[in-house]
């Protein structure tokens, strides 16, 4: 149960709280969550502190101080509310993916449909290639004992296994089989952004395969061109710091 004292409020923590709250609200604004579904978190890696949405609290009433702070193993350090029940999944991702600083989970309807269909989302166009360098993977169904055991932590492990030969930087999201999407990024804002993009990609892929069930994934060179014009050292999309 939540306790009250193991953390000290610092400017970085306060800033992270604001960012995590804002990331949660972005999910509402973009129509990705219903009622209290969904959760966004952020990591202060220097301290090993995770800031996450409380469980089952209405978004419209949520304030920075309602967010729960835990250590990277999910032990609650401060706050009087229970954390999202998916906290152990977030923590597992923070432990296994050393470069990420934000995680988002939703049941957004098109991405969830692909997860329920247990189909990876093929890269059918440049919108997808702009954000995901390859198809969006789907996890293997979890074995019985992982479900009845530490289920939420094991959900994180199932994601990590899906990334054994994949880069979480180049593929900032996954579909958990029969469950829904998780996305991530260097910070909570980007993780939420990726959740919004993923839902749009899922919707367009749904439409595409309905129009043409034989639709083919785009070729490697087009995929690379688009991904690399937004990411990496030669990126030329958006404003650079100097010109902005």
Q: Which residues are catalytic?
A: 130, 237
Regarding 239 and contact with its own copies (CB under 8 A), the answer is: yes
Sequence-ordered list of residues with C-beta below 8 angstroms from that of 99, at least 6 positions apart, any chain: 168, 169, 186
Regarding 116 and contact with its own copies (CB under 8 A), the answer is: yes
* HSE-up (13 A, CA, CB side) for residue 78: 15
A 10 A CB-CB count for 112 gives: 19
Regarding 219 and contact with its own copies (CB under 8 A), the answer is: yes
Q: Give the CA-trace dihedral at 9, 47, 6, 2, to 10 degrees.
A: 100
Selected from 10, 140, 212, 232, the binder of its own copies by CB under 8 A is: 212
Closer to its own copies by Cβ: residue 31 or 99: 31
Structure tokens at 120: 């990876």
Regarding 221 and contact with its own copies (CB under 8 A), the answer is: yes
Regarding 118 and contact with its own copies (CB under 8 A), the answer is: yes
Give the shortest CB-92-to-its own copies separation in angstroms: 17
Binding mask 78-107 for its own copies (x = CB under 8 A): --xxx--x---------------------x
Task: Let me know: does 228 contact 234? Beta carbons within 8 Å.
Answer: yes
Considering only residues 149 through 168, tell me which ones interact with its own copies, judged by CB under 8 A.
151
Regarding 241 and contact with its own copies (CB under 8 A), the answer is: no
Selected from 3, 14, 140, 222, the binder of its own copies by CB under 8 A is: 222
52 closest CA partner among 9, 88, 6: 88
Report angle CA 164, 167, 171 to the nearest 5 degrees: 120
Report angle CA 240, 189, 169 to the nearest 5 degrees: 75
Binding-site ranges for its own copies (CB under 8 A): 1-2, 34-37, 54-57, 80-82, 85, 107, 109-110, 112-119, 124-127, 141-142, 144, 147-148, 151, 178-180, 193, 196-197, 200, 203-212, 215, 218-219, 221-222, 225, 229, 236-240, 243-244
């Amino acid at each position: 149960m939540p306790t009250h004292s193991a953390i000290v409020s610092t400017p970085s923590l306060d800033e992270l709280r604001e960012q995590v709250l804002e990331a949660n609200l972005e999910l509402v604004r973009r129509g990705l969550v219903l009622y209290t579904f969904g959760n966004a978190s952020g990591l202060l890696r220097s301290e090993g502190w995770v800031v996450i949405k409380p469980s089952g609290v209405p978004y419209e009433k949520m304030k920075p101080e309602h967010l729960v702070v835990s250590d990277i193993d999910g032990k609650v350090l401060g706050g009087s509310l229970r954390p999202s029940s998916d906290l152990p999944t977030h923590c597992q991702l923070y432990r296994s993916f050393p470069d990420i600083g934000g995680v988002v989970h939703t049941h957004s309807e098109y991405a969830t449909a692909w997860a329920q269909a247990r189909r990876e989302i093929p890269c059918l166009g440049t919108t997808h290639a702009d954000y995901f360098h390859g198809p969006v993977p789907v996890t293997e169904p979890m074995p019985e004992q992982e479900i009845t055991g530490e289920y939420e932590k094991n959900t994180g492990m199932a994601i990590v296994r899906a990334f054994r030969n994949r880069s979480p930087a180049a593929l900032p999201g996954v579909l958990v089989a029969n469950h829904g999407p998780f996305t991530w990024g260097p910070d909570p804002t980007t993780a939420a952004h990726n959740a919004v993009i993923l839902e749009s990609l899922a919707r367009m892929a749904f439409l595409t395969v309905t129009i043409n069930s034989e639709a083919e994934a785009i070729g490697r060179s087009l995929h690379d061109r688009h991904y690399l014009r937004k990411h990496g050292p030669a990126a030329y999309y958006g404003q650079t710091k100097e010109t902005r």
